[in-house]
């Protein structure tokens, strides 16, 4: 910035604290502006890193996205942050916020999530913090590298600033969980290639737009399928969840290999969805964080319409089951 450009910001030092913060809050919808402002002076850095500024910035970010269940409500902290590693910020998180984080992880069917009974039975703050650490999904957490954000993980100045960074990174994740796949209703259309083929065959240019749902029990339903009938779907690739207990009888070298293989972060895992015998559906995201499943025939886009899902643990556990040694060798 030129000196003339900095003049308005330098006037902040002449204003009362509350009025100066109110001025900075006008920029709080734009993270880039806050980051630039923080480099003007020590006062500007303090104001730009105020919790109120980043809370407004985080809420503005979430409000502009349509990821449905894939993103937390704007009023809640991001559930995939390892808050136990943020000792300074952890002191500022209220008991209400801790319970929101625990319930959000539970709602999203995270395998490590604490049960309702565990959360209800935790009466003291230290008990809730223990559950928060225990339920942290390290395999799913957004990668917040020092190189990218220019600061140690212990130097985050605001819990909402950290939630903002986590949300940005998680919005790029293409490894979809079973909950994120089964919870929303999907918008089905034929792909461009399929439409061109249809036009070449019968001259029709009208695309089909209908609904689709993927049930937890493995059935697929759509407006194109007759009532009372269903198709089947399955995941292709690696399961979700973190490492399970090492298998008995494995050598120490094999155990270490098994731990590394099963502890892979989702950024290094691959997953696709297949319906019946049709080509696998690749998973991508839109700029507003919707999920997209597509192949050369069809395009499915997640909507904000959520559905009530069954609580049967056996249905959910199969999505995080790693193959046995014999299955893996096969």
Give percent helix, percent strand, percent coil of the chain, each to the nearest 5: 45, 15, 40
The Cα–Cα gap between 142 and 234 comes to 25
Within 8 A by CB and 6+ apart from 256, the residues are none
Cα angle: 258, vertex 264, 267; to 5 degrees: 160
Q: How far apart are CA 270 and CA 175, in angstroms?
A: 7
Structure-block tokens of residue 116? 């309702």
Tokens 């049967």 belong to which residue?
A: 312
Give, rounded to a whole angstrom, the gap between the first and last alpha carbons of the chain.
61
Report how far residue 97's alpha carbon sits from residue 194's, in angstroms, rounded to the nearest whole number.
Answer: 48
119 C-beta neighbours (distance < 10 Å), count: 18
Q: What is the pLDDT of residue 271?
A: 94
Whether the Cβ atoms of residue 280 and residue 297 lie closer than 8 Å to each other = no
φ/ψ of 282, rounded to 5, equals -75, 150
Question: Which candidate, 279, 272, 285, 282, places its Cα nearest to that of 297?
Answer: 279
| pLDDT at position 151 | 43
In the chain (330 residues long), the average pLDDT of successive 10-residue segments reads: 50 62 73 81 81 89 77 86 83 93 93 92 93 90 60 65 91 93 93 67 68 94 84 93 55 52 75 95 94 93 89 86 53
pLDDT of residue 73: 82
Q: What is the pLDDT of residue 15?
A: 62
């Amino acid at each position: 910035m030129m000196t003339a450009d900095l003049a308005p910001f330098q006037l902040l030092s002449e204003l009362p604290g509350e009025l100066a913060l109110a001025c900075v809050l006008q920029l709080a919808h734009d993270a880039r502006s806050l980051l630039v402002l923080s480099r003007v002076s020590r006062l500007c850095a303090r104001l730009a890193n105020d919790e109120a500024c980043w809370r407004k910035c985080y809420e503005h970010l979430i409000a502009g996205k349509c990821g449905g269940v894939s993103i937390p409500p704007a009023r809640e902290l991001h559930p995939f942050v390892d808050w136990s590693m943020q000792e300074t910020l952890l002191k500022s998180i209220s008991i209400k916020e801790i319970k929101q984080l625990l319930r959000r992880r539970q709602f999203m069917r995270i395998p490590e999530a604490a049960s309702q009974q565990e959360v209800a039975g935790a009466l003291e703050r230290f008990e809730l913090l223990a559950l928060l650490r225990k339920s942290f999904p390290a395999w799913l957490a957004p990668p917040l590298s020092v190189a990218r954000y220019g600061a140690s993980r212990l130097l985050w100045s605001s819990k909402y600033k950290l939630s903002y960074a986590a949300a940005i990174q998680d919005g790029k994740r293409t490894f979809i969980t079973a909950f994120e796949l089964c919870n929303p209703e999907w918008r089905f259309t034929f792909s461009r290639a399929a439409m061109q083929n249809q036009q070449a065959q019968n001259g029709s240019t009208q695309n089909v737009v209908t609904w689709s749902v993927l049930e937890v029990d493995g059935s697929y339903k759509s407006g194109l399928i007759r009532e009372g009938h269903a198709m089947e779907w399955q995941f292709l690739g690696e399961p979700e969840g973190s490492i399970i207990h090492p298998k008995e009888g494995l050598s120490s070298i094999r155990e270490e290999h098994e731990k590394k293989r099963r502890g892979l972060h989702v950024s290094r895992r691959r997953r696709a969805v297949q319906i019946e015998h049709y080509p696998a559906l690749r998973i991508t995201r839109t700029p507003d964080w919707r999920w997209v499943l597509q192949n050369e025939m069809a395009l499915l886009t997640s909507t904000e319409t959520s559905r009530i899902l069954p609580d049967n643990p056996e249905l959910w556990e199969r999505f995080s089951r790693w193959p046995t040694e014999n299955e893996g060798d096969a």
